[in-house]
Amino acid sequence: AMEDRQIIEWDKDDIDALKFMKVDVLGLGMLGCMNRAFNMLEADKGLRIGLADLQDDDPDVYAMISKADTLGTFQIESRAQMSMLPRMKPRRFYDLVIQVAIVRPGPIQGDMVHPYLRRREGLEKPEYPRPELRGVLEKTLGVPLFQEQAMKVAIVGAGFTPAEADQLRRAMATFKFTGGVSHFSEKLIGGMVERGYPREFAERTFRQLEGFGSYGFPESHAASFAKISYASSWMKHHHPDVFCAALMNAQPMGFYAPAQIVRDAREHGVVVRPPCVNASRWDCTLEQYGGRYLAVRLGLRQIRGLSNADGAKIVGARELTAFESVEDVWRRSGVQRAAIEKLADGDAFHSFGADRRQGLWKVRGLGEAPLPLFAAADRADQAVSAEGI
């Protein structure tokens, strides 16, 4: 804990008993990625925009999503999501809210996915045995996908009090560990039958609510995630160069390796340039290019095994004058031979005509470390030369 700050670990149920508020704080890597993307968008393209400024009604973005062209985006990049997107064909924001929520163990095990898809595709009509359920389930085509809907179904369909419905919600959250939802079976099914619902419908509804025990989403949670899903998709569609650079700088994150992210960016028309000892900084950056998008320069962070500290030394050593040879990098940067070998293996010496093979051969001719006196003298000479210029 930080200085003068105390942390007490309490059980969540004890906190409830004391009427303290609980807040679920998530650390999402994509938020950091999008922050990088918006900063790059302003710095490199002069476009100042933030997450809250994006309108969520761009048909071109939804067309891209509907084709499952979502590699690297938030929440809708998994194979399961990609297989669902062409069937769902999201056309508006609430479709995306449902998309985020429906590919979850809860809806799948509760047999909610296929009924929803059939109804969305017009193959089956939504079922509302009583008018009061239409208001609860109409926007999800008669299928209870969210925890809030489960509570409302219990209240309007089975006569639960709000307090009992909240107990049902809690039971759904712990069902996997306690089986607690089954305690409500008789009350829910019996209450719905008493109010005129067919028993088969009541039993199916209960099975669906049981599925929430395998991680069903609150609607507000799904909407928050959908907002980030849309924003990342918007960035990927309109600024794939920025999206690629920001996503690479946010690694490790998500389902895909850097090589797959680079390949996807190139398929979207982005020029991706390799790491270069004279052009790369630690992070990936954007460079001017005559095409539709800026070019992405891969950063030294993409060199396998190269430390951030060695990367900083290399970037700092070339601030005044570019490197001219492998030996020049070694002598002026002061990094160990092992770091130079990693640069050669990463093909980072092409700016002075050394490919990977040539670079590795030249590294073999180096000693274990540059002599400190010579390295200091080289840096002094470079400084004098720069001042003379």
- pLDDT for the residue numbered 214: 54
pLDDT in tens, 322-342: 989 888 888 898 888 889 889
Structure-block tokens of residue 374? 């010579």
Residue ranges, the chain, pLDDT below 50: 176-177, 373, 377, 384-386, 389
**Domain residue ranges in the chain:** 109-216
Tokens 């998500």 belong to 254
Tell me the backbone φ, ψ of residue 288, rounded to 5 degrees. Answer: -65, 145
- pLDDT for the residue numbered 151: 86
Ramachandran assignment for 291, one of left (phi > 0), alpha (psi -120 to 50 degrees), beta (any other): beta
44 CB-near residues (< 8 Å, 6+ apart): 242, 286, 294
Ramachandran assignment for 21, one of left (phi > 0), alpha (psi -120 to 50 degrees), beta (any other): beta
Tell me the backbone φ, ψ of residue 220, rounded to 5 degrees. Answer: -65, -35
- Distance, CA of 200 to CA of 116 (rounded, Å): 18
Give the torsion sign (CA, 247, 249, 255, 257): positive
345-373 per-residue burial string, b: 16 or more CB within 10 A, e: under 16: bbbbbbebebeeeebbebbeebeeebeee
Structure-block tokens of residue 83? 């297989």
- pLDDT for the residue numbered 154: 87
| Crossing angle of the two packed helices 185-194 and 147-158, in degrees rounded to 10 | 50
- pLDDT for the residue numbered 371: 52
Tokens 């390796």 belong to 257
CB 147 within 8 A of CB 218: yes
- Distance, CA of 77 to CA of 176 (rounded, Å): 26
Among 246, 310, 251, which Cα is nearest to 277's? 310
Question: CA of 38: how far to CAs of 24, 50, 64, 253, 269, in Å?
Answer: 26, 6, 20, 18, 20
- Distance, CA of 369 to CA of 360 (rounded, Å): 16
